[in-house]
Amino acid sequence: MSVARRFVAIVDGLNHRVGRFVMYGIFAMMAVLLWSSISKTFFLPVSWTLEMAQFAMVTYYILGGAYAIQLGSNVRMDLLYGAWSPRRKALVDAFTIFFLIFYLGVLLYGGLGSLAYSLGYWGTEYVGYFVGLASGSEEIGRLERSPTSWRPYLWPIKVVMVTGLILMLLQAVSEFIKDIIRLRGGDI
C-alpha cells in the first residue's frame, strides 16, 4: 500500500499544482476577449482573437479537469449520494470510476489520433507512431493548420488536449486507489 499512497501523493500534488496555475488562465482568456472588443470597436478588427480565446478556454478547461476531479467538484446525483455513509460512497465511487476511466481512455485514444494527424501522420497505429517519433525512426509530416484566416498550427492545442486527458486519467486512478483505501478502513 505504500506504493499506492506514493502514487496518490505524486498525482494529487502534480494535479493540484497544475490546476492552481491553470485557474489563472481565465484572466488570459478575458484579456484576449477584451482586446477583441476594443479592437473591433476602435481599431481594425484582428483575426486571431476569437480563435486564441477558444484555445485559452480549451487549455483552461482540459488542464483544470484533473484538479476538478481531485476537488470532487464534478456533478453528482446528490439525491441519494449525499445521505450515504463514507464507506458506501467509496464503494459506489470505486465501481463508477471504471466508467470514467473507460471514457477517458476512449477520449485519449481519439486525442492521440488527432494529434498524430495534426503532426502529419495518416496511418492507424497512433501509439506506434509516437513511440517511433520518440526514438527518431518516425518523422513529422505536413503540419495541420486551422482553416481560418489566421491559420495557426493545431498541434500545440492538441498536445494540451492529450496532456489534460492523461492528467485526468491519472487522477481517476488516484481516486480509485483512495476509494480502495477508504474501503479497507484506512485514511488518506
pLDDT reported for residue 12:
97
pLDDT at 138: 81
The string of DSSP codes covering 66-96 is HHHHHHT-S---HHHHTTS-HHHHHHHHHHH
> Quick one: pLDDT at residue 112?
93
Residue 94 binned pLDDT confidence (cut-offs 50, 70, 90): very high
| Nearest CA among 51, 108, 126, 72 for reference residue 118 | 126
Q: What is the pLDDT of residue 107?
A: 96
The answer, yes or no, to whether residue 74 has pLDDT greater than 80, is no
The per-residue pLDDT for range 6-27, each reduced to its tens digit, is: 999 999 999 999 999 999 999 9
Tens digit of each residue's pLDDT (9 = 90 or more) over 39-68: 988 988 888 888 999 999 999 999 999 999
How crowded is residue 121: how many other Cβ atoms within 10 Å of its Cβ?
Answer: 22
**pLDDT top residue among 186 and 178:** 178
pLDDT at position 45 is 81
Amino acid 180: pLDDT = 94
Distance CA 102, CA 49 (A): 35
The mean per-residue pLDDT over the stretch 81-86 comes to 86
User: Tens of pLDDT along 133-176?
Assistant: 888 888 888 899 988 888 999 999 999 999 999 999 999 999 99
Tell me the angle at which helices 25-42 and 49-71 cross, rounded to the nearest 10 degrees: 160
* Confidence at 101, pLDDT banded by 50, 70, 90: very high
List of long-range contacts for 77-84, beta carbons under 8 Å, 24+ apart: none
Residue 145, beta-bridge partner list? 153
pLDDT at 72: 86
d(CA 14, CA 20): 10
